[in-house]
Structures are given as structure tokens and as C-alpha cells.
Amino acid sequence: MAWPSLTGTELILYIPCLLLFFYYLYNTYFVFPLSPNWPLVGMLPSLLANADRVHDWMAEILKLKNGNFYLRGPWLSDMTLFFTADPANVHHIFTQNFQNYPKGEEFAEIFEVLGHGVFNTDGQLWRFQREKLQVTMSQKCFCTFIGKTTQEKIENSLLPFLSETVDQRLVIDLQDMFSRLSFDMTCILTFGADLGSLSTDFPAVPFAQAVDDATATIFFRITRPSAWWKLLKFLESGQEKRMAKSRVVGERFIAEVIEKRKQEMIEGSHVFPDLLGSYLRDENIPNSNKFLRDSAVNFLVAGRDANSSGLSWFFWVLSQNQQTEEKILHELSSVRHSTTPEGMAIFDPEELENLVYFRAAFLETLRLFPPVPFNVKSVLKPDILPSGSRVTPGMKIIPSAYAMGRMEMIWGKDCMEFKPERWISETGTLRHVPSHKFLAFNAGPRTCLGRSMALTQLNMVAAAMVYNFCFDVVEGQIVAPALSIVLHMKNGLMVRVRRRTCI
């Protein structure tokens, strides 16, 4: 029997129909595909079908594929992504063969909003910036500054805000609150000024919105062929139009605070050991506005997003695990604290250092909900990873911290459970987990310099909130990760606040 011939027009119509048929089968009979790659169009149909749950989808595929898989772009796009959640591969990429896996020029293009800051550069420029940042953050006066300003912010802004929320019986978005709090605290550490964005009228914060728009666009760029997003950028259309606007807002904001900070330095009216002040006093650091802008925006974005994400997910998991909250309260009641004039407790960072279960609960939150759910690496030279996977120049390698927190081969069969006890050793101390298994703070030479600072702030804020207030999550809301390079909640976290009456 001869097969019927098809005209060119019929063929053009037939191929989309065939793809739609496979799409129907995929959605009807499969939870996720054995392979996310389709003929001709590569990953796009699978990506579009799972666009609302992309982080979990990637984790599910990595589980099926023993921690590694390739994602292909459309035909002729020359786009290949290699995803991995294999600790041996992560150790190789981040530490053992670090020089072969830079951020790369394409990464710098995608993350252009960060300029030539420490998160966006390689080689000598990255080393120089990292060394300067490390020196500043390790200074005793800066560490003291972190604890003092965080404590003041909790006492003068956070606790009054929550009290007013209770008095007015408001339903608030906890994620938005944390974003504003983290923004204010990071501004203090960056250039010594509190912008006061945390108040019950939730004032508009153009810079914060610009950061959100930029991170959403960066995620869009990573998951699309470069020719696609570059065309949209050229046309100033869609997501790229939002990016252009966010850059204008962000650069204007940073330029204004730098000029104000310089003037304060000249007048001698500001002597706090903030990051920008430290840089301006260092004769070995370029005094150009561009260098200072890039340094400030990298520090601001990292501090705001990491802290707000970590705190939001922490209070979400507490709402789902009452026993964990009770154990944390029991620990907090055993340590000394100061009391505000209104009778509310505030904890010193040194006291919180001894609370093993409390700190374990935070680490467990970051295991399941890492603020940066994935990394992006380039390849300089062809290499064979410990898994046997081949990588070549032109590929993007994407180690997934989100998927790693959900891998049985790393955490056991109970990997999907929230279980702080897994971080506590038999002797009652915190258990050490190597960074190539727990990637929440990066690994190797690029390990996060702000880990200690972030955990100090997270612990102080959470301790004051848990001890003084109860948070009831509004029923019916869907809590899920947003499509972003930062693990925010898609719909926020709506809660009602009550004063805690007994411990």
C-alpha cells in the first residue's frame, strides 16, 4: 500500500497537528516525559507545558535521570543546557576544575543589569572584588555594625509594624513585608541609610520593583535561545521592555545614593562602617561611579532577595509544622533576651548561636527552598564529568540546588520531608554537610561571603517574630515557587498576625 503524498502546504499544517497530538498524549497520560526534548522544537513544548511549575518539573526529571540530563533548544538554535543535581559533578565544576567553568560572556550578557560586579565577573576582576568584599565583611566593626543595625531595625520598625498590623486586624503579605525589611536592612549595610520602606501603608518602592522585573527577565533569558531575547531587546518589546525600564530606575537610584554618600563623607556627617563608606575610604579601590554602582547593586540585590526568600519559606514551613515551632519556642525561652519598652523580646546574635534546633530548622528550610534555586556555568574546554556526561564549549551547565534538596541519593528516602533533626548529630551539635551536597550558599571559590551575615540577620528577625507573635496563614491560597532566578513565592504569603500570649 502506497503512502499518500503531501503538498508543502499540507506538510506545514501536518507538523503542528502532530506536535499538538503528542502534547495531548503528554498531558493526558504522563506525569512528566521520559525525555523533555521534542523533534525540531527541542525543549519548548515541555517547557511551556510545565511553565507554572518549572523548578519542580526540573527536579522530577533529574530524579528520573539519576541527577543529570541535557535540554535541547529548537533546531538550529545551537542551545543546549546540561542540568545536574549530582554532588560529584557539582564538586568537580565548583571546586576541582573551577577554572574550566566560569560565568562566561553569555552569562554577563544575560545578567547585564549587575554590570561588572562580583557576581557577574570572572578572572582578575572577580578576584579583586571578592578580596575587597571579604576584607570589608570580615572587619570586626562591620560585623558589630550588622548585629547593632539589625537589632535596631527589629525594635524600631519590624515589631511596631507587626503590632500595628494586629491592632488594625490587617491581613498582610509576609513575603512583601520581608522584602521591604530586607531592602531597608541591606541599604543600611550598603550605604548607611534606612529608606523606611516598611510601614503599614506599604509605600511604593520603585527600586525593589525594578529588581523584581529584572530577575524575572533574567529567568526568561536563561530559558530561551539568545537570538529570541536579543530580538525582543532590539525591538524593545515584551519582557525586555520591562528590563530596560528597570535598569533606568535602578541606575538612577544607585547613582543618587552614591552621590549622597560621597557628600556625607566630604562633610564628615556619616562615619558608619557601611560597605560604600569602606570602599570610599580605601585608596586602592577605584572611585569611579560605575565601579561603586556595580558593587552596590550586587550587594543590595543579593542581600534583599536572599533574606526575604529565606524568611518567607521559613515561616511557611513553620505554619505546616507546629511541632517545629513549639521546639523553637522552647529553645528561645531558655536564652537571655532584652525587652523593648512595649514588653517585647529581642535576642542578641551571640545568644542565638547556641540554639541548635533553631539553626537546624533554618538550614532545613534552605535545603528545600534555596534562595538561589540554580546556578549557571559556561564551559571553556571539553570535559567529561564524574557522571560520565560530556560537556563542550557553548553549553550552559545548570546545577540545581532546588533539585539537590529533593534527591534521595543525597538526603535519603525522607528527602521531601521537613526534618530539622537531620542536621543534628548524635552529640547534639550541628551536623556539617559539604557544600557540594548543600548548595544553598554556593560552593568552592565562589562560596557565599555573606553566609554568616545572612544567617545572623535571619536568626535575629525570625526569633523576635516567633517569640512575640503568631502567624496564621490564610486558607485557600496556593503557595508555590515563582518563575524567577530567586525562589520567591508566586502569590506571596498572606497571613493574619496575633500577639503570642504565653510561651
Q: Which residue numbers belong to the known binding site?
A: 448
Binding annotation for heme: 448
One-letter amino acid of 54: V
Helix and strand element counts for the chain (H, E): 20, 10
Strand pairing class (80-84; 396-399): parallel
The answer to whether residues 310 and 179 touch, using CB atoms and an 8 Å cutoff, is: no
**CA terminus-to-terminus distance, the chain:** 82
Tell the burial category of 462 from Cβ atoms under 10 Å away from its Cβ (0-12, 13-18, 19+). Answer: buried
Please give the DSSP secondary-structure letter assigned to residue 335: S
What distance in Å separates the CA atoms of residue 366 and residue 439, rounded to the nearest whole number?
9
What distance in Å separates the CA atoms of residue 222 and residue 79, rounded to the nearest whole number?
10
Q: Is 291 helix (H, G, I), strand (E, B) or coil?
A: helix
One-letter amino acid of 126: W
Tell the burial category of 329 from Cβ atoms under 10 Å away from its Cβ (0-12, 13-18, 19+). Answer: middle
Please give the DSSP secondary-structure letter assigned to residue 156: I
Q: Cα 310 vs. chain centroid, distance in angstroms?
A: 8
What distance in Å separates the CA atoms of residue 289 and residue 80, rounded to the nearest whole number?
37
